[in-house]
Amino acid sequence: MRVVKATLSTGKVVIFREMKISHTEMAAQEVAKKADGDSNLLQVFMQKALVKALLIQVDGKDLSAMDKEDMDNLFSMAEYGQVLTVIKEMSGGDDMGKSPVFEIVNSGDK
């Protein structure tokens, strides 16, 4: 299994599962009813659901499902923001931090 290791600015080391499309689908399904159509709540709930799905370890400690429920105990608000930044970068593809190259070309169709 491929993992992503992130060292936060505080020195805390966090290990994540490699992100897959199925993780985002699972997070959306998990929180859709709870958000009750509120897109702002949906975004916040999805972020937390993704963090819980991808987190494996913090500072060498394997996390249980109960550990992942108490984000306030795992991270300060600043650390949590950095965790969300890592997840955002992970969703950008295998070349984390690199933007895709694209161009408009003629396909030959008229």
Q: Is the predicted pLDDT of residue 96 greater than 60, yes or no?
A: no
User: pTM of the predicted model, to two decimals?
Assistant: 0.76
> How many CB atoms are located within 10 Å of the residue 33 CB?
8
Contact status, residue 53 vs residue 17, Cβ threshold 8 Å: yes
Convert the pLDDT of each residue in 29-82 to its tens digit: 877 787 777 778 778 888 899 999 999 999 999 999 999 999 999 999 999 999
